[in-house]
Amino acid sequence: MKQAVVVIHGIGEQRPMDTLRGFVEAMIPTDTPDGKPLYWSKPDRLSRNFDLRVLKSSGRTSTDFYEYYWAHKMQGTKLGHLLGWLWDIFKRPRRDIPDAIVPIWRSTRWTVLALLLLIASGALAAAWGQLPANDNPFALIPLLLAAMGLGLRYSALAYLGDAARYLSPNPQNVRVREQIRADGVDLLRALHNQGDYERIIVVGHSLGSVIAYDIVGYLWHEYHDQLTQLNPSNRELAARYANREPLQPVVKEALPAAGALLDGSLGSLLNFRQQQAEAFVEQRGLGNPWRITDLVTVGSPMAHASLLLGRSVSDFQQRMERREAPACPPTEDTQGYGYNARQPLMLGQKPFTPHYLHHAAAFAVTRWTNLYFPAPFGVFGDIVGGPVKPVMGGGVLDLPVTVGNGKGWLARSWLSHTHYWSERGGTQGYLSALGKDEQAITQGPRPSATEALRWAIDLKGVRRFRRVGAQQSLAPEHA
């Protein structure tokens, strides 16, 4: 049995393989007591980038780790790209700003307004002769502006510039946005076409989580209505249908019912995630080629999707309702999360009307787990990420995390954004209780980020996506 993990790096001038190597060394041990490595490197034949490699784990269940590297496509970012994007956010009214970043938005606004007021006051005072030219304290303002410009040019531009170009659909950004998305979709499509992966997990960090969300949704467009096993020659399915056995009970009934019961409790969410996994297996049994079982986002700006991907909170909500932006759970169609085919097809000697999940229902069969360091008041923690469920839907599992090994202070700093898999040891056991003791999970101490990430990708869980039936448990396994 084989599975693939695709890691998508975040903003900044990343080097090929740096993100992937750090990720893999945190997810699996680097070597055994006898000194033998538990993963090795081989050429990445799916990429045209010769600096990229595939890291392959050893053991009964083989896992191939891929990196989707996109930083080189962001060359040529200029200060105008960043300032235009920041201005668009700056002028938004309060009602369109997510609560988590309101303190930063307000402080930025007041700082800019105070600076403009100082410039105007100094200019007027000098013009009216109230301040001598050689003793004008406002003469330092140009130097201050120059220093701020250099800071934007050499620090913020290297990081925020990537976000500005990818998240802003201005004409000068369209080409690079399309290149990044097209190459990401090509990679996921190639992994599907390999034909030997039972399961694919997509992990996105920072801006990479937005890219992951986009390419998963775009690829689903190609696969959502493919049920290749529904044909007259399939004797097994024909016999089941002739015996009046329902062929799509999960996607037609159980999954929408579980989505309707989502009430914010952990129990209802875990039930929905179990139905997602069973829907995946059901679709696979009918010939759907989709293999992405999990999207895992860490430090994700999707927590602020209404600000970054829409013109306003109501605009982004309407996009999800119109099925432009995939939600979790999916926006409902005429029947649950899908629709019946217009024309029946023959299954054996009887006509059968298949039920298709609609084009924006990727998260009907793909679970979404989001990890974040909480940032109270928008300051003490990872201000880039945050809980995604309030924005994208009640089917997202948000896991607030911390940094173990006595580094709790790190989880309360902005540096936490780069420490989701910085630990190599990590503790085990806390998240193994998920689903068994809801009070312990919701009120107990937060798990370490590395532990939560290991639980979310669940490398030992590939077997259940191959053999699971309607009566089997889908809770993740843990060592």
Q: What is the DSSP string of 48-117?
A: S-TT-EEEEE-SSSEEEEEEE--GGGGTT--HHHHHHHHHHHHTS-GGGS-GGGHHHHHHHHHHHHHHHH
CA 106 to chain centre: 27
Give the whole-angstrom CA distance, residue 299 versus residue 416: 9
Q: Which of 454, 460, 452, 453 is nearest to 477 (CA)?
A: 460
Phi, psi (degrees; rounded to nearest 5) at 239: -65, -40
Res 150: pLDDT: 55
Res 473: pLDDT: 38
Res 463: pLDDT: 78
Res 336: pLDDT: 92
Give the whole-angstrom CA distance, residue 459 versus residue 473: 17
Res 97: pLDDT: 72
Give, for 322, the enclosing helix (H) or strand (E): none
290 SS3 class: coil
Res 427: pLDDT: 45
Cβ atoms of residues 262 and 268 within 8 Å: yes
Q: Looking at the domain 2-74+173-227+264-333+361-467, which fold is it?
A: Rossmann fold (3.40.50)
Beta carbons within 10 angstroms of residue 282's beta carbon: 23
Instruction: Report residue 54 as tokens.
Output: 């595939």
Res 121: pLDDT: 66
- Distance separating the N- and C-terminal Cα atoms of the chain: 19
Res 79: pLDDT: 64
Give the whole-angstrom CA distance, residue 28 versus residue 34: 16
Cα-trace Rg, the chain: 25
Q: Per residue of the chain (479 residues), what is the pLDDT tens digit?
A: 799 999 999 987 688 999 999 999 889 866 566 656 678 898 888 888 888 999 998 776 789 999 999 988 887 667 666 667 777 777 777 777 766 666 666 766 666 777 667 666 666 555 555 555 555 555 555 555 556 555 555 556 566 777 778 888 778 888 899 999 999 999 999 999 998 899 999 999 999 999 999 999 999 999 999 999 999 899 999 999 999 999 999 999 999 999 999 999 999 999 999 999 999 999 999 999 999 999 999 999 999 888 888 888 888 999 999 999 999 999 998 789 999 999 999 998 899 999 999 999 999 999 999 999 998 866 788 888 999 999 999 999 999 998 876 666 777 777 888 889 987 654 455 455 554 444 545 556 788 899 899 999 998 888 778 744 333 334 444 43
Res 478: pLDDT: 41
